Structure 1
Amino acid sequence: MTPTPLLCQIYKSPRQEEMFLYVDRTRGLDVVPQALLEGFGPPQSIMMMIMTPERTLARVDTARVIEALKEKGYYLQMPPGGDARTRDQAFDVSGGADDQSA
């Protein structure tokens, strides 16, 4: 199934360089878990964009962002570095392990 376009608000973290929070504009920050926001810091809006499968983002797969926005309403882009498993992944603080062993 091809992801459909949606309006996305992007915030940067004041606490961590190159950490960004993508939020479905129609759902707003209310869907972002409080624990995530506390670690992220007060979100600083940097831009709004229409997310489409054809759009290219610098360090993250656009389809992953779109799917996370549809499912959770948000996507946390981690700073570069570290291992591929933790970098640029959808962040889930709702409990439950998100172990995707391959």
Structure 2
Amino acid sequence: MSDTLVYVYKSEKKSGRYLYLKNKDMFSLVPNELLNAFGPLKYVMMFALSKHKKIEKISVQELEKALDEKGYFIRIDLLSDEENLINQERKYRGLAPLSKEELDDMFK
């Protein structure tokens, strides 16, 4: 693992949406549709990837691979059933909610 620096931004429009960049303020690598969905971004922090064995809700290997291949990584946290539109729709249709693991598998 290299001494890659990671720059973290959060959406000011929607809670639980984070953008990790390999280069600070290098938004040109992120598709416009994703940037528009995120809305205004706020810089949160910078860290050295090599200093972390575990990062909350993502693996270090997954993050490093995305940064190397695309230059960015997007993390969307589903905080509650109220924010989880998939489970809202399932409830409306009389279906059982999906577990966090099932939801995570849908977005891989």
Q: Same fold (TM over 0.5)?
A: yes
Matches within 5 A, 1:15-54: 15-25=13-23, 28-52=26-50, 54=52
Per-residue deviation, residues 2-38 of structure 1 (Å, max 9, x unmatched): x433111100011221110000026821211111100
What CA distance in whole angstroms lies between the structure 1 residues aligned with 2:47 and 2:18?
14
What CA distance in whole angstroms lies between the structure 2 residues aligned with 1:65 and 1:50?
12
2:76 to 61, 75, 78: 78
2:66 is matched with 68
**Residue type of the alignment partner of 1:61:** S
Q: Could you list the runs of 5+ residues in structure 2 that have no partner in the other structure?
A: 80-99
The structure-2 alpha-carbon separation of the partners of 1:27 and 1:47, relative to structure 1 and needing over 3 Å to count, comes to closer
Hey, which of these two has a bigger chunk of helix by percent?
Answer: 2
The structure-2 alpha-carbon separation of the partners of 1:62 and 1:80, relative to structure 1 and needing over 3 Å to count, comes to farther
The structure-2 alpha-carbon separation of the partners of 1:53 and 1:70, relative to structure 1 and needing over 3 Å to count, comes to farther
1:100 is matched with none
4+ residue segments displaced more than 4 Å: none
Give the TM-score normalised by structure 1. 0.72
**Paired residues of 1:21 and 1:77 also in contact (CA < 8 A):** yes
The structure-2 alpha-carbon separation of the partners of 1:44 and 1:67, relative to structure 1 and needing over 3 Å to count, comes to same
Give the TM-score normalised by structure 2. 0.69
Count of residue pairs brought into register by the alignment: 86
Question: Rg bigger for which structure?
Answer: 2
**Paired residues of 1:11 and 1:45 also in contact (CA < 8 A):** yes
Q: Identity percentage over the alignment?
A: 24
